[in-house]
Structure formats: C-alpha cells, structure tokens
Amino acid sequence: DLLLSKVVTLGDVQVIIDGFAAMGFQNCSGAIDGTHIPILGPDHQGSQYINRKGYFSMVLQALVDHKGQFTNINVGWPGKVHDARVFRNSGLFRQLQEGIYFPDHKITVGDVEMPIVILGDPAYPLMPWLMKPYTGALDNEKELFNYRLSKCRMVVECAF
C-alpha cells in the first residue's frame, strides 16, 4: 500500500517512446504480459487457482518500459484465468480504452495516424493502442514487423 505508487510509476513517456524507437518500434510506451506467481492452494475454490501448467498460482500482469521497469501492475487473479481476461478487466485497459493513460501523442505512419501503443503477445486483443504479432502466412514486411515487435516485447519477459 505504501510503496506501490512510488515504485511502479509511468515515468517520462517521451523517454520511454525514444527508448523503444531506438529498439525499432515507433511511438511505443510499453510491453505487456502476464506471469504466474506460485501460491499454496487455497481452501476455497482451489481449482480456480490451478493454471494450465498444473500448479496453483495467481496471475501478475505487468506493463514495463524499454528498460524493463514496471510501470503498471495488476495482481490477484486466479491462475486459471487467461491473460486476455485479466487485461480486459484491468484499470489499465479502461484507461487505455478511454485514452487517458498516455498523453495524446500521435505520429503519422504512411497515411495513418498512430497513437501511443503498447506491445503484447498473441494472447492479447488487437486494439488501436495495442499491437500484437501477425499470424499465418507472412510476407517480408509482416516478418519484419513481428521481429521488431518481438525484440521490443522481450523486455517484459526479461523483467519477469
């Protein structure tokens, strides 16, 4: 209760955007993923806490900056709950959807206006402000997009 707001903060958005741009992804201000924190099985509704790997856990969702520093966390969902459901029910999702989490900082790519985005793996929903990899048969442009997205998204994996 005392340290969370001092330790997990957004920080300077422009510095984060510049950091991800140097890594190959423009107008990005975070990478998101979930991980499972092992717990002892609770007495009540224990089966809800057994994750897909078969152990008791709680889900930790984290958004990190280009250095892997935590800028937003959500923890406490039972291990059985999918990352996309945790995300859709988070305060972060609501703030991103309402356009109030990041400042209004759009760039133009080709003829498309691009807001500040975050990067997720295929489990996350594609949104105007959330990029995820292409799937299926990929041409060279989509392969390059996926490579850059993956390179930048790895900071959250390393943070865990």
Digit-coded pLDDT (tens) for 54-98: 999 999 999 999 999 999 999 989 999 999 999 999 999 999 999
- For residue 160, the model assigns a pLDDT of 95
State how far the Cα of 67 lies from the Cα of 75, in Å rounded to an integer: 21
3-state secondary structure at position 104: coil
Give 108's pLDDT tier (boundaries 50, 70, 90): confident
State how far the Cα of 38 lies from the Cα of 51, in Å rounded to an integer: 10
Q: Is the full-model pTM beyond 0.85?
A: yes
Q: In this structure, what token pair is assigned to residue 24? A: 């190959």
- For residue 104, the model assigns a pLDDT of 82
- For residue 61, the model assigns a pLDDT of 96
- For residue 144, the model assigns a pLDDT of 95
- For residue 148, the model assigns a pLDDT of 96
What string of DSSP letters covers 18-37?
Answer: HHHHHHT-TTEEEEEEEEEE
